[in-house]
Every structure is written in structure tokens, then in C-alpha cells.
Amino acid sequence: MADAPDRILLKVSDLHKRFGANVVLSGASLTVPRGSLVAVLGRSGSGKSVLLKCLANVVQPDSGVITFDGKELRSDTPSARADFRRRCSFLFQSNALFDSLTALENVALPLEQTTDLKAKEVLERSMEALKQLELDVHSESYPSQLSGGMQKRLALARAIVTQPELVLFDEPTAGLDPLRRNAVFTMIAKYQRQFGFTALIVTHDVPEALLASDRVALLSNGQMGFEGTPEEFASSQDPFVTSFRDSEASLSSQLHSIRRGETIQSKES
């Protein structure tokens, strides 16, 4: 059954983007239900981050339609764009914390820049955000004095301090080992449910995304080749899905064959 229009917070239709001769997005479409955690999967270079940057208005798409809460986001609709910015936060791959600011100052910055709150209210809301993510005792610490996991939580505290309805996560587990990847996905799932925001994550970490997400989309060659539940993704026999999903199993099979002295036929030959 199709989602009712009022249940859809974000909708992307036929998005196109190219940089010179390099076509990155060629008709990508995506539906993000309100209150859900949606993961966009894809190999490195598949256009996942460009998709997010188009949503965040960092990059202008060549064509296509982006709709947020029923309102189309266009260059000639500044009020809709401003409304989107007020209700959305972006958590960068690198955390993008300011090294010269304390944890408290990092979290307070979005409130100081985007609201008319008085200094006392900014302090109270910033400390509450730190407390909710168990960082209040580190309020006067600088990012360099925090562990990697704490820095991720600090970046999330800054992202949610404005009480956004939508949080965009750009490869939040890039470069992390398996244990830390698990911890980051657990953190996102925990606080997404606790605070009730809608989350859109771009990642290439399949097992973790399937466990944490409500819906999954697979981006390849500039288009969404799959969109559905994690269960549907896990059971799909579509060659487009299996070639991406089962790459680890394929590697395991090939390595076992090599150890048995069998000849491996290259897929590129």
C-alpha cells in the first residue's frame, strides 16, 4: 500500500546532476516517511553524498523535484527553503566540529546563528542536549580531548539541539572499525527513536544499515534500483540487489576456492 501523502516528509523525484561529462544522478527518486530511519546504500562514488548535498542545497541539481512536507523546494521558493533549513540538520562525515570551541560552544552555535533565543535559553538548551547524549560532564572539553565516539555524540547533539524534524547523515561510519560502526548505528537508532526525528543516512555498510533502518534504498548508476524494507532487501533475488548485497559472501566463496587451489574466473574477463 502506498504511503499517504501526509505520512511523507521528504520526497525526491527524478533528480539529475552532472559535473561536466560526469553524470552522477540520472533520475534518482526516493520517499522518506515521517518518523522513519531510511538508509541509502551504494558503493563509493555512486552519488550518495551528492544526493544529500542536493537535499541540503549545498549543490544545485540540474533537474528534478524535491518536496519537503508537501512543499516543493525550488530556487524561486525561498520561504519553502528557509522552512526546510529551520526544520532540518546535517551531520557531516567528518563531524565538522570546531576545534577552538568547547563542547558546549559547539552545540550552542546553531542556536546562536538560527534563533532569537536569549543567552540563558541558549545555554539551557545546549546543556540539555549534552545531557541527553551523556556529554554534560564534558561541556568545557574541546573536541580534541574527546574520544572518537564522544565526538560523534557531540556532533549529533549539535545536530539535534535545534529540535529538527529531519536529520541527514553523510557516511557517519566512514573509516571506522566494525565495533565503532555498530556503536554509531546503535546511537543513531537510539536517539532517532528517543527524539522522534526522521533520519536519512547514506552509507555503504550493508549489515548495520539493514539492522538499524526502517527502509532501505540502493543507489547505483545514478538511480535507485531498489526501495523497500530491510526484509525485502535481504530476500530480494533481483540481480541488481544481490550483486551489491552478497558481495561479502561472493568474496568468501572465492577465497575458499583459492585455498582449495581452484581457478577463479574473473568477472571482467
Q: Is residue 123 part of a domain?
A: no
Q: What is the domain-level CATH number for residue 226?
A: 3.40.50.300
pLDDT tens, residue by residue, 79-95:
998 899 889 998 887 78
209 Cβ contact list (under 8 Å, min separation 6): 39, 41, 185, 201, 203, 216, 230
Lowest model confidence (mean pLDDT) among 18-27, 135-144, 225-234, 238-247 = 238-247
pLDDT tens, residue by residue, 182-222:
888 898 998 899 889 999 999 988 889 999 999 999 998 89
Q: Is residue 129 part of a domain?
A: no
Q: Is residue 243 part of a domain?
A: yes
Residue with cell 511523507: 8
Q: Is residue 265 part of a domain?
A: no
pLDDT tens, residue by residue, 10-52:
999 999 999 999 999 999 999 999 999 999 998 888 899 999 9
Split into its structural domains, the chain has a count of 1
Give the range of the structural domain holding residue 48, as residue numbers without chain letter. 5-102+165-259
Task: Tell me the CA distances in angstroms from 269 to 31, 215, 224, 239, 249, one per residue in order.
Answer: 38, 36, 27, 19, 21
Rounded to 10 deg, the angle between the 178-195 and 119-132 helix axes is: 130
Q: Is residue 137 part of a domain?
A: no
Q: Is residue 94 part of a domain?
A: yes
Q: How far apart are CA 200 and CA 228, in angstroms?
A: 14
Q: Is residue 156 part of a domain?
A: no
Q: What's the one-letter identity of residue 240?
A: F
Q: Is residue 144 part of a domain?
A: no
